[in-house]
Amino acid sequence: MAELVQTAILHFDGERYRILAWCIMPNHVHVVVEPFDGQRLGAILHSWKSFTANKANLLVRRTGTFWHDDYFDRYMRDEDHLTRTIHYVEQNPVRAGLVDTAGNWLWSSARFRRHS
């Protein structure tokens, strides 16, 4: 499931949006995304959720709602806020006790950064 979600999130990176950070946890997902001009965050999220829900339901042989209808978003006020948010997202599996170092979590942008 995590691979499915990660692949979907990264699919249009550089085309419709720029992914700045992500972390796929066992029961939720964090994504720091910068939509390109003409792209709406709601439409991007709908695309991710619709595609992954259909594929995930096929994998587990079920139907119905897979994701919560809503999502939480936050506007980045400045570079410091963005930096702190990326750190928060990438440290999620460490805080949850899933790994000792963020870079060891396979379903996160942290593994691509030197400091993780």
pTM listed for this prediction? 0.90
Q: Which domains does the chain have, with CATH numbers?
A: 2-112 (3.30.70.1290)
Tell me the pLDDT tens digit for each residue of 89-114. Answer: 999 999 999 999 999 999 999 999 86
Show the tokens assigned to 58. Answer: 């096929």
Does the pLDDT of residue 27 top 80, yes or no? Answer: yes
Q: Which residues of 46-69 are buried (b: 16+ CB within 10 A; e: fewer)?
A: eebbeebeeeeeeeeeeeeebbee
